[in-house]
Amino acid sequence: MNPYPSKTLVDNDRFRSVVGHFASGVTVITTKVDGELFGTTASAVSSLSMDPPMMLICLNRSSQTHGAVKAAGAFAINILAADQDGLAYKFAKKGTDKFLGVDTDEVEGMPTLRGALATLVCRTVEETSGGTHTVFLAEVLEADSSDAEPLAYYRGKFGRFNPDAETSAYQKVRDWVLTRRDLRNTSVEIDSLVHELGIPRDQLSRAVVKLAADRLVMVGMAGSFTVLPITSELMLGCLDGRAAIQCGVLHTSMDSMNEGVVSEIRGIFDQMASAKNSHSTQMATFFELNSQLQNLVIGLSGSYELVQAFNRMGLGAVWTETVPADAWADIFDDTYQRRFVEALENRDVTAACAAVQNHAETTKKLASKMIDSHGGEV
């Protein structure tokens, strides 16, 4: 039962002003059920619609906060300020009293973190489940912001805003984590990577927090983290989550796709097919082209955060670790990708989504087989 059936939505101008404060992508999702507070650090957060004002969050089903958000039917998005990096670490951990010593307020029955850069209180109107992930679509009831500096892009005492550096740092640490499969289940000191990766410690620490939200690492004590293995459960959930986002974008943005974009998508796919048919050993090139194609589609949403959320669910390391370089062209089936491109050319959103879902199911079966052949984890 929805707890706020008659609440008037926040007006569009105020919603636009507050969403504009989403600078870092580092948020804490909070909620309350039967008087108990729940919260988790989350990166997959995006504004979704201006009319009505809506937000989108993605939560892993293994999180206690996921179950609480589902039960409450409402939640708060707390966009963290520059001095709240400690909260990002605190809420990324499991099995602790996360709210101990944390100052909170209550807005529309939901707990909010005092001192946050911005807060949005939302009621869930739709859920899309996929493996270990759920995408919650929610209307915004209340929104507020402050003049504080954002956490993730803060540079020095002047609070210099530099999203390119933050994005680059996150991607560099993510690539390191995904390629160092020999270190899975091993603790790594953050300080040991500062020199190796050439990233300032504050940026590296924030990248680790995002990776913890992605379930690729687990934040440890005293500036360390553990590299987590990629399991079938994680991989299948990511594939389902990506398919859900793709279909969501297609349903809302197909009408805005012009001939130039369709032509570009067709060109990229033809390059993929050529590489596959030539039985080239350049599997990495094939996946890079595939990534370009998918980003063009997700980019139709006009949401940078949604593109980032989609890419954070990409786990190409499974293929590079398990698929023989001389056999990949025979293993990967591009039948449904071809149907997907043809559906886009015909502006047939139903056929396009069917192709996305069928491709996801085929890829899930292959991923499970490859991971199981390597002992159940990569």
Q: What is the mean pLDDT of each run of 10 residues along the chain (378 residues)?
A: 72 64 70 94 84 90 92 94 80 82 93 93 89 86 82 38 72 89 89 89 87 88 87 89 89 82 87 74 77 85 77 81 74 86 92 92 88 86
User: What are the structure tokens assigned to 310, written together?
Assistant: 């989609």
DSSP 367: H
Sequence letter at residue 334: D
- How far apart CA 30 and CA 93 sit, in angstroms, is 14
Going along the chain from its start, the domains and CATH numbers come out as 12-145 (2.30.110.10), 163-227 (1.10.10.10), 232-372 (1.20.120.530)
Q: Contact 133/241 with Cβ under 8 angstroms?
A: yes
pTM for this prediction: 0.57
The H or E element containing residue 60 is strand 53-60
Cα 201 vs. chain centroid, distance in angstroms? 23
User: What pLDDT score was predicted for residue 38?
Assistant: 95
Which candidate, 210, 199, 209, 232, places its Cα nearest to that of 311? 210
Phi then psi for 15, rounded to 5 degrees?
-60, -45
CA proximity to 303, closest of 56, 51, 118, 42: 56
What distance in Å separates the CA atoms of residue 273 and residue 261, rounded to the nearest whole number? 18
- 14-35 as b/e: b if 16+ CB within 10 A: ebeebbebbbbbbbbbbbbeee
Residue 165 has a pLDDT of 75
The pLDDT value given to residue 72: 96
Q: What is the pLDDT of residue 206?
A: 86
